[in-house]
Structure 1
Amino acid sequence: MSSFKEQFTPTKRFNTIALALMVVGLIAIVALYFSTHGSGIAEADKPKQDARFWASLLQNSVYFLLVVNASMFFICATTLAWGGWQISFRRVTEAISACVPIIGVLAAIILLAIAFGDNHTIYHWTDTHHVHDDPVLNHKKGFLNKGFFATVTILTVVLWSVLGYKLRAMSRQLDNNPLPSVEAGKKYMWKNTVWAAIYIIVFSLTIMSSIPWLWLMSIDAHWYSTMYSWYTFASTFVAGMALIALFVIYLKNKGYLELTNTEHLHDLGKFMFAFSIFWTYLWYSQFMLIWYANIPEETIYFKPRATGLYSGIFWFMFIINFIAPLLILMSRDSKRNYTIIAVVAVLIIFGHWLDFYQMVFPAISPDKVPMILYDFGVALGFVGIIMFVTGRVLSKHALIPKNHPFIKESVIHHT
């Protein structure tokens, strides 16, 4: 393995693009702020315009935080399964997950600023006077309150960051310290399994339950769905797999990841295909059954999205996230083609970004669809952060975990 490129060296173009995207994001945030806080805005419209600014930051920070966090979930899920096929590109998933503390801090600041601010347009339940006169919100105040929101938000970001750091550190400790025996390998894998299980428990209590309720579903506090958290998970996990595939393809095209081959790409393509179908199943179950039941307090969520001003985004998002992956990735050959996987991965990441857009903005701006170019500019800023941080982490550690007990299984992997 000594002849392999064991360390990534970011090119000047890579760093330039990452920095340029971050600059674009900053410009978009500044432009959005001045467009929503200008002197020509009527006094009555100022709360809505201010909420429109914060909603863009909320949508982008939460979406990209959950997408990069999906990498650590993937690591832990495959660790619990004692899977070895993914070890050849494990350092890619580790590097992406290293973005969690940075984007997590940004998201936490944004979320807490919204919750503790004077504008209650996004989170109606933060207005104590309104809650007192609203039977539904008053009933939920034990859960929807600033103290609980802040505690869970901070605790979640800290736990994701600390556990992710621990799992990455355990992986890197083998780079210069090979395991002396088979028994030592078993102990190492058991230790990894325990820490991965702890992370999965935290993940289940956050992403698969409470966090989507607090950060996203509480924007429409009078509505609820028992499938919302799973729906959010499916959306961000498939986007996370697409992000992993993009970095793997980029590194392969640059001559890195020699142990990663078409078989591994095929499996990443299968994940993208399968979870696009899974997301669609949850989308159908949440949307169609509620719509068919015609319960006013439930259908009110979908009315502006499916038939109102946001219907174009709603159905376009469905086409990108389901129809495109279904038709393009159905064949075996397409899942083994670098160009096709890269194109579909970009579509999936953008499509689920649109999904989060229509999850947030119909409640914030029901009478007018905001200029989406501002929000897309902010999204490019987060993409720049992910590129920059992932590239730096990849450049600091070996790309191939050659001393991992399962590396041989990954080398001989065949689908």
Structure 2
Amino acid sequence: MAIKEFFDIPARYKKWSMALMGVGVLSVIVGFILYGTGEEHGKRFWATMLQNSTYFLLIANAAMFFVCATTLAMGGFQMAFRRVSEAISVAVIPLGIIALVVLIALCVVDPEMYEWLHPGNDKLLLGKKGFLNSGFYIIWTILTIGLWIVLGAKMRKLSHELDNNPLPDVEAGRKYIFKNSVWASIFIVWFGLTAMSVTPWLWLMSLDAHWFSTMYSWYTFASTFVAGLALITIFVVYMKNQGYLEYTSEEHIHDLGKFMFAFSIFWTYLWFAQYMLIWYANIPEETIYFKSRVTTNHSKGAYTGLYWFMFCINFIAPILILMRRGSKRNYTTVTFMAIVIIFGHWLDFNQMVFASKFPEHVELNLFDFGVAAGFVGLIMYSTGRAMAKYPLLAKNHPLIKESIIHHT
């Protein structure tokens, strides 16, 4: 069977990605004019930039985590569409640069976002100064994003090595798999030290510097990983509809649907565990986090509607729709749910940031959606270029046959 090796970017795809990026740039400019100055207005601008830059960076990086995790698990099923996951991870480069600028600006340009930057006589904040200080924040942020980019590039380079250089024998295949596993392990370890632990504490949880949760990083990981799986699914279905990925079948789509379903439940488990423990203990230093999010008193529950709407999108919709086998094999249903999941967890990040800095509530407006559209366009543009640059099938990989004959 003749296959289409390279992605020929359609004119409509280019137009949409450029248009969305244009909307994003315009939104940032207009948003800075409207909200970029003054203590409260400044926080409004930077809160939107923080939410979007961290969220889209983390879901793009989740694609490389998926590649590395399945590599270590010897999961051959994903080889038929692995190049899509790798292409999405290329977006970590521009998204990482944008996030780095935003995060450092929060320390240098607008230090009002993080109250630990000016602790005054606050004993609690002074007690956390060894961890919550601008020097560690900036250095760790640079290391986090820098190594995500470098290690991701190394994994992609190893994948592309075989495109024109078939492995001569079985022993060479074993060595290649071992080398892949070593670098995937390094990425997973660094990912665990950053996205699964320290980094969400610094970037997001420290917005409420007096509050803490030992489950916070796992919660943000679950949120961005299921959204990352949804992003992979959208691109895989799109490529199938364009006549590419000939060896990717509804069996592979079914597995992606199962992943989205499973990790939606995992996210809900973490959501419930964090909320239930804080509710049951009823310790004031902990419950303050939920006062603006779930209480019914208007002055203290300004984000209650958004919070429960986000919960319905991220849990009730996936469990009702994706539980059936047929729905996970239906391209339209899976794509619809992928879009819903990405939007739902974007709302989750919105309440995580805004309810911490604006407890009296800030309404979503065109500025927020415009900035989000810009990041979507950037992911489309970066991923499209990456898929056009290299073959869409890792044809000489030792596990490619397993993926082609895969069934569930």
TM-score tier by shorter-chain length is over 0.9
Q: Does structure 2 conserve the Cα–Cα contact (< 8 Å) formed by 1:97 and 1:164?
A: yes
Select which of 61, 78, 82 maps to 1:69: 61
* CA deviation map 1:336-364 (0-9, x unaligned): 00000000000000000000000000122
Matches of 1:192 and 1:120 in 2, distance apart? Answer: 42
Distance 1:24 1:81, change over 3 A: same
Deviation, 1:389, is 0.3
Q: Is residue 259 of structure 1 aligned with residue 247 of structure 2? A: yes
Q: Is residue 53 of structure 1 aligned with residue 41 of structure 2? A: no
For residue 31 of structure 1, what is the aligned residue in structure 2? 30
Aligned residues: 403
Q: Does structure 2 conserve the Cα–Cα contact (< 8 Å) formed by 1:48 and 1:364?
A: no
Matches of 1:371 and 1:256 in 2, distance apart? Answer: 38
Deviation, 1:37, is 4.6
Deviation, 1:132, is 3.8
Amino acid at match of 2:172: A
Matches of 1:30 and 1:102 in 2, distance apart? Answer: 18
Matches of 2:276 and 2:19 in 1, distance apart? Answer: 42
For residue 120 of structure 1, what is the aligned residue in structure 2? 111
Amino acid at match of 1:93: S
Distance 1:260 1:227, change over 3 A: same
Deviation, 1:288, is 2.0
Matches of 1:126 and 1:388 in 2, distance apart? Answer: 36
For residue 70 of structure 2, what is the aligned residue in structure 1? 78
Matches of 2:122 and 2:241 in 1, distance apart? Answer: 57
Matches of 1:100 and 1:32 in 2, distance apart? Answer: 24
Amino acid at match of 2:107: A
For residue 340 of structure 1, what is the aligned residue in structure 2? 333
Q: Is residue 90 of structure 1 aligned with residue 82 of structure 2? A: yes
SS at match of 1:203: helix
Q: Does structure 1 conserve the Cα–Cα contact (< 8 Å) formed by 2:226 and 2:264?
A: yes
Using structure 2 for the length normalisation, give the TM-score.
0.97
Amino acid at match of 1:382: F
SS at match of 1:393: helix
Q: Does structure 1 conserve the Cα–Cα contact (< 8 Å) formed by 2:200 and 2:220?
A: yes
Deviation, 1:225, is 0.2
Measured on the aligned residues, the alpha-carbon RMSD in Å equals 0.9
Deviation, 1:191, is 0.2
Amino acid at match of 1:8: F
Q: Is residue 169 of structure 1 aligned with residue 157 of structure 2? A: yes
For residue 103 of structure 1, what is the aligned residue in structure 2? 95
Q: Does structure 1 conserve the Cα–Cα contact (< 8 Å) formed by 2:354 and 2:361?
A: no
For residue 139 of structure 1, what is the aligned residue in structure 2? 127
Amino acid at match of 1:328: I
Deviation, 1:101, is 1.4
SS at match of 2:214: coil
* CA deviation map 1:11-47 (0-9, x unaligned): 0000000000001111211221222257xxxxxxx20
Q: Is residue 188 of structure 1 aligned with residue 176 of structure 2? A: yes
Deviation, 1:305, is 0.9
Q: Does structure 2 conserve the Cα–Cα contact (< 8 Å) formed by 1:305 and 1:311?
A: yes
SS at match of 2:311: helix
Q: Does structure 2 conserve the Cα–Cα contact (< 8 Å) formed by 1:18 and 1:384?
A: yes
Matches of 2:145 and 2:36 in 1, distance apart? Answer: 30
For 1:198-347, list aligned pairs within 5 A: 198-307=186-295, 308-347=301-340
Q: Which runs of 5+ in 2 are unaligned?
A: 296-300
Q: Does structure 2 conserve the Cα–Cα contact (< 8 Å) formed by 1:185 and 1:405?
A: yes
Amino acid at match of 1:72: M
Using structure 1 for the length normalisation, give the TM-score.
0.96
Matches of 1:5 and 1:209 in 2, distance apart? Answer: 41
Amino acid at match of 1:199: F
Deviation, 1:368, is 3.1
SS at match of 2:325: coil
Deviation, 1:120, is 3.2
Deviation, 1:373, is 2.7
Among all aligned residue pairs of Structure 1 and Structure 2, give the percentage whose two residues are the same amino acid.
Answer: 61
Q: Is residue 14 of structure 1 aligned with residue 5 of structure 2? A: no
Distance 1:102 1:37, change over 3 A: closer
Matches of 1:279 and 1:121 in 2, distance apart? Answer: 31
Deviation, 1:365, is 1.6
